[in-house]
């Protein structure tokens, strides 16, 4: 505030404004995570970047999950609440 010669009585308004900017940034980030980044080309068309779905030589979660749950029930005493 001193660098830009702002009076101390504007401290609350400045803080609220900065928090509003932070909220907008986080909302934008959430929107991009949920729906992907959309690029406006100006003509009403949008492009979504391609997501790589390259298959690797790894085991699928659906293949080992039942055995993992069974192990945790038998060895760690997982009950229905933990399994859920």
Cα(74)–Cα(80) distance, integer angstroms: 12
pLDDT over 80 at 7, yes or no: yes
Please give the share of the chain, as a percent, with pLDDT higher than 70.
79
Mean pLDDT of 60-74: 88
Residue-range domain boundaries for the chain: 1-37
At residue 23, the pLDDT reads 95
Higher pLDDT, residue 42 or 5: 5
* Token pair recorded at residue 28: 């934008």
Cα(76)–Cα(69) distance, integer angstroms: 10
pLDDT over 80 at 65, yes or no: yes
> Could you say which DSSP state residue 3 is in?
T
pLDDT over 90 at 81, yes or no: no
Q: How high does pLDDT run on average in the chain?
A: 82
């Amino acid at each position: 505030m001193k660098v830009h010669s702002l009076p101390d009585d504007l401290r609350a308004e400045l803080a609220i404004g900065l928090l509003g900017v932070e909220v907008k940034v986080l909302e934008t980030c959430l929107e991009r995570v949920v729906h992907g980044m959309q690029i406006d080309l100006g003509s009403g068309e949008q492009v979504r970047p391609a997501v790589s779905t390259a298959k690797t030589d790894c085991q699928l979660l659906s293949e080992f999950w039942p055995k993992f749950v069974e192990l945790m029930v038998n060895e760690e005493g997982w009950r229905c609440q933990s399994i859920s």
